[in-house]
Amino acid sequence: MQKKYEALSEQVTLTRTLMARSVIYKYLNRTNLICYSELSRLLGCEAFVKHENHNPTGSFKIRGALNFFHHMSREELEAGILVATRGNHGLAMAWAGQWFHVPCTVVVPEDNNPEINRIIESYGAELIVHGEDFYDAQSYCEELVDSAGYYYVQQGNEPEILNGLATMGLEILEDLPQVDVIICPIGGGAGCASLLKTVRAVNPAVEIIGVEPQNAPSFYESWKKGEIVTLDDAHTVADGLAARSVFHLPYVILKNTISDVVLLTEDEILEGIKMALTATHNVAEAAGAVSLMAAYKIRDRLAGKRVVMIMSGGNLKMDNLRKAIGC
């Protein structure tokens, strides 16, 4: 198993990411990298935010979805694709599926955000609600593959998804060549792993720091133990990071190369949402705001450096917004 994913990791390269950029720019614009004076003052560094929340589906995931569809064979696409999701991955695959005229079935857990469900269906995807959490939805997908013949997209283990996601790293390096530190959320691990692969290929000195909820530290625990750990529970307000286990491919990429991982409490995650609103005037979902709060938590380490925080998504639950602003 380990050797399989080590081989797959060799397919996530700077060259393939450059090729992916030519694909996704047919559909997407570059996202902004903005230096905020208030955030810089608060953190004591040159603070930049990479606004992946400005993408059409509200997150960085659309980059990977478009590149994935581009590399699928016609036979695979005609069979239809199947995904399990808490939100952003399903939104991205359904949106991209419209452009490529591919039937898309999205399986979500029972407590999924109803607004996310509605938007997925508005993109033309079939929505199936099943199970208590993402992992129940994922198991159901595996059953459907056996019975219906779909192509099941395991988002974190698809090299061309990672090559698409890595295009955000290219944009950061072009806009801020002298970046010192990049802080990125970790859920299943694909976004952080793809970013690291691209950035380190150009500048090995850049620090890549991951962020996870203290309630869902699946990568952190795996990183410390030296093997993939599956948590019994991963309930967190940052549902985009509620991963009981990291995907194998990102783990192989990150395990010996990531600089550090910051863990945040639930209160700190909510404070990050508020910080995004007040310091950048942006709505960030809980998973998208953790980079800002992590930077604040380790601000002494960042003093005087050029720091990029990935605002990975903006699909904020209204309940989380109310909790964050105290009303």
- Residue 307 forms beta bridges with which residues? 47, 181
Q: Specify the pLDDT at position 281.
A: 97
Q: Tell me how far apart the alpha carbons of residues 269 and 288 are, in angstroms, rounded to a whole number.
A: 10
What pLDDT was estimated at residue 77? 82
Give the predicted TM-score (pTM) of the model: 0.95
Separation between Cα atoms, residue 23 and residue 72, nearest integer Å: 13
Assess contact for 254 and 210: CB atoms under 8 A.
Answer: yes
| 54 CB burial (10 A radius; 0-12, 13-18, 19+) | middle
Token pair of 146, please? 């056996």
What b-and-e string marks burial along 15-37, b requiring 16 or more CB atoms within 10 Å of the CB? ebbebbbebbeeebebbebeebe
Alpha-carbon radius of gyration of the chain: 18
Q: Considering only the C-alpha atoms of the chain, give the largest distance between any 2 of them, rounded to a whole number of Å.
A: 57
Say which CATH topology domain 62-157 has.
Answer: Rossmann fold (3.40.50)
CA dihedral 194, 268, 176, 56 (to 10 degrees): 60
**DSSP letter at 245?**
S
pLDDT confidence of residue 56:
95
Task: Look at residue 78 in the predicted model and tell me its pLDDT.
Answer: 84
- State which CATH number among 3.40.50.1100, 3.40.50.1370, 3.20.20.140, 1.20.1510.10 fits the domain covering 2-59+160-325: 3.40.50.1100
Structural contact between residues 87 and 109, judged by C-beta atoms closer than 8 angstroms? no
Closest CA to 154 of 166, 137, 129: 137
* Strand duo 46-51 + 33-35: pairing: antiparallel
Kindly report, as residue ranges, where domains of CATH 3.40.50.1100 are found in the chain. 2-59+160-325, 62-157
pLDDT in tens, the chain (327 residues): 678 989 999 999 999 999 999 999 999 999 999 999 999 999 999 999 999 999 999 999 999 999 999 999 988 888 899 999 988 999 999 999 999 999 999 999 998 888 899 999 999 999 999 988 888 888 899 888 877 788 999 889 999 999 999 999 999 999 999 999 999 999 999 999 999 999 999 999 999 999 999 999 999 999 999 999 999 999 999 999 999 999 999 999 999 999 999 999 999 999 999 999 999 999 999 999 999 999 999 999 999 999 999 999 999 988 898 989 885
